[in-house]
A and B are shown apart, each in its own frame.
Chain A
Amino acid sequence: AQSVTQLGSHVSVSEGALVLLRCNYSSSVPPYLFWYVQYPNQGLQLLLKYTSAATLVKGINGFEAEFKKSETSFHLTKPSAHMSDAAEYFCAPRGAGTALIFGKGTTLSVSS
């Protein structure tokens, strides 16, 4: 079964700083990898997804992620953090036709 490890349950950055949220998947390459964001008391919003078409995936709100098979990683980055980026971020693999299996999540805090 697919699984992910999100390193760092809490990441704090200053506004304007680089955001790096780490995600490592299990050794078997999943067909799809997703990053979702969840704002307090809200549902999920899709940031981006990897579908094997390109290893560098660009998403919404300036986020991007790079799939690195050699490192079994799919880390999420953003060059310059905004206060509005403060939220919970989830990495999730998905097999063909199966459910998303979410990582434990990383809380991103942004200070001014």
Chain B
Amino acid sequence: GAVVSQHPSWVICKSGTSVKIECRSLDFQATTMFWYRQFPKQSLMLMATSNEGSKATYEQGVEKDKFLINHASLTLSTLTVTSAHPEDSSFYICSAGGIGEKLFFGSGTQLSVL
């Protein structure tokens, strides 16, 4: 099956720094990428949807200036958490949608902000 590679799988950073998370579709063209956030013992919450070459569409309550999403190619989308704070500590998961309504998830990134 199709593979979505998400890196890093975990990252620890100091408060105030920025962290970039990559999501790559390895064997298909991902026309749409979705980014989710999951707090401990909670469900996945959709943060934003991005289409290749377009600006991302953010869900209500998600700060677009804090969570920068870039989808510059059909195989790569990045999420940058800018000026991270402890409350941004969470599990971030990407999913990539290709042709035919197929949807595949990355393995997730655990972000811990000290």
Contact = CB atoms under 8 A, between A and B. Distances in A.
Interface in B32-51: 32, 34, 36, 42-46, 49
A103 B6 CA distance: 23
A99 B106 contact: no
B28 to A, nearest CB: 15
Contact of A100 (B103, B107, B108, B110): B103
Nearest to A46: B105
A90 interface: yes
Contact of B49 (A31, A99, A103, A105): A99
Interface residues of B, number: 20
B103 A103 contact: no
Interface in B1-23: 6
Given A32-B101, A42-B107, A100 B95 contact: yes
Given A43-B108, A97-B97, A102 B43 contact: yes
A103 B107 contact: no
A15 to B, nearest CB: 24
B51 to A, nearest CB: 10
Contacts of B6: 43
Contacts, number: 43
A97 B108 contact: no
Nearest to B44: A102
Interface in B88-107: 93, 95, 97, 101, 103, 105-107
Contact of B43 (A31, A99, A103): A103
Contacts of A98: 49
B43 A42 contact: no
Contacts of A103: 43
Interface of B: 6, 32, 34, 36, 42-46, 49, 93, 95, 97, 101, 103, 105-108, 110
6 contacts: A31-B101, A43-B93, A44-B44, A90-B44, A104-B42, A105-B43
Q: Nearest 10 pairs between A and B by C-beta?
A: A43-B107, A43-B108, A99-B34, A102-B44, A102-B43, A44-B105, A105-B43, A104-B43, A99-B46, A99-B49
